[in-house]
Amino acid sequence: MRKVLPILLVLLVAPLGLATAAPGGRISVLCSPNPAWCDAIKAEFPKATGITLEYIRLSSGEAFARLRAEAANPSLDVWFGGTGDPHIEANEAGLTEFYRPQAWNDLRPELREAVAGKYVPLYAGILGWAINERLLREKGIPVPRSWRDLADPRYRGLVAYPNPNTSGTGYTMVATLVQLYGEEGAFDLLKRIHRNIAQYTRSGAAPGQLTARGELAIGITFIHDAVDQVLQGFPITYNAPSDGTGYEIGGLSLIKNTRNRANAIVFMDWAVSPEAQRLAAEQGQSYQIPSNSKTPTPRVAPRFQDFRVISYDFLKFGKASVREGLIRRWTREVEPLPK
């Protein structure tokens, strides 16, 4: 399939209007998914369009901070991937603008409706855990089943969790617990889980990597990142808590006042095409559910029906007042606590 992919992408140019892009143009992408996926779009987009692509890789929280810092003079054109909550906040802050791609009607309606025109859905992924069962067996500790299990003192020093200041994955967990237990109940649980955290990571994929290497027993991460570790041959498993879990709708946003708006639009049309979305699994080591209903879902992608997934309120938890308030409270009340 990889050998014929460039040909398929060239054939896609005419119906999408991509042929109008000026050869030799350029685009700068703020890229938040797996670095291998970022490398794949860098390699394949120029073959399809003649436009050179460069990217900067930052986790969702760091990407949002970069956009805010550059609001008066943006150096980037498109934000590709990352959890949806900061995409919504960026839109409401006037840092990005919504562009309706030509394949809009092919995107899964449940994803379009959930984000209500704040950004373009790119994929969906379920929050869960990477689990090193061998390490747990050696310590005589059972596999956790619920969020509350993670507060059990038996897991002290065995859990990794991404910092919600830098990671969209980390914020998704905070917002998920608030939706499950209310804000006070969620923060009480987060404080108790904190005692068991060995490391707060900067990125959402890092906890799964630590678990895969046997450094820790449980990594809070999106399940598709754990799948990547399994497919690389690491002896771990994955699951989601039985009391319910959240999910992400990865975003695609046009950065406001970009100097390369025409090329950015070409990229956005291309990025949601089936030919481009197939790159996630085929070259990018990323196994989310693609947003375009015509894109084949990877066989190994975690499915919603296999887990107890909550009806995540993206619009509420993407509001600046809510998102920033929860992150500030976590930073003030949870992170400094002794372990």
What is the average pLDDT across 12-28?
A: 55
- Which residue spans of the chain are classified as CATH 3.40.190.10? 5-124+247-308, 127-246+318-333
What's the confidence (pLDDT) of residue 111?
A: 97
Query: What are 170's two structure tokens?
Result: 């980390």
For β-strands 197-201 and 52-57, DSSP reports them as: unpaired
What is the average pLDDT across 222-248?
A: 97
Name beta bridge partners: 221. 128
From the options 3.40.190.10, 3.30.420.280, 3.30.1490.20, 3.40.50.1970, give the CATH code of 5-124+247-308. 3.40.190.10
DSSP SS3 for 18: helix
Per-residue pLDDT tens digits for 107-134: 999 999 999 999 999 999 999 999 999 9
Query: Where is 175: in which H helix or E strand?
Result: helix 168-194
Confidence of residue 24 (pLDDT cuts 50, 70, 90): low
What's the confidence (pLDDT) of residue 21?
A: 43
CA distance 111 to 88: 14
What's the confidence (pLDDT) of residue 17?
A: 40
What's the confidence (pLDDT) of residue 28?
A: 98
What's the confidence (pLDDT) of residue 269?
A: 98
- Spatial CB neighbours of 11, under 8 Å, sequence gap ≥ 6: none
Q: What percent of the chain has pLDDT over 70?
A: 93
Q: pTM for the complete prediction? A: 0.91
Per-residue pLDDT tens digits for 256-309: 999 999 999 999 999 999 999 999 999 999 999 999 999 999 999 999 999 999
Name beta bridge partners: 239. 129
What value does the mean pLDDT of the chain take? 93
CA angle 64, 67, 70 (to 5 degrees): 150
- Spatial CB neighbours of 124, under 8 Å, sequence gap ≥ 6: 108, 111, 247, 248, 249, 250, 288, 289, 291, 304
Measured on CA atoms in the order 209, 212, 216, 219, is the torsion positive or negative?
Answer: positive
- The position carrying tokens 């995540």 is 312
Name the E strands within 284-331.
289-290
Is a pLDDT exceeding 90 seen at residue 20?
Answer: no
What is the average pLDDT across 53-60?
A: 97
Per-residue pLDDT tens digits for 162-186: 999 999 999 999 999 999 999 999 9
Is a pLDDT exceeding 70 seen at residue 339?
Answer: yes
The structural architecture, per CATH, of the domain 127-246+318-333 is: 3-Layer(aba) Sandwich (3.40)
CA distance 242 to 240: 6
Query: What are 25's two structure tokens?
Result: 């143009």
CA distance 305 to 270: 29
Measured CA distances, 245 to 127, 233, 255, 310 (Å): 6, 26, 30, 6
Query: What are 45's two structure tokens?
Result: 């987009």
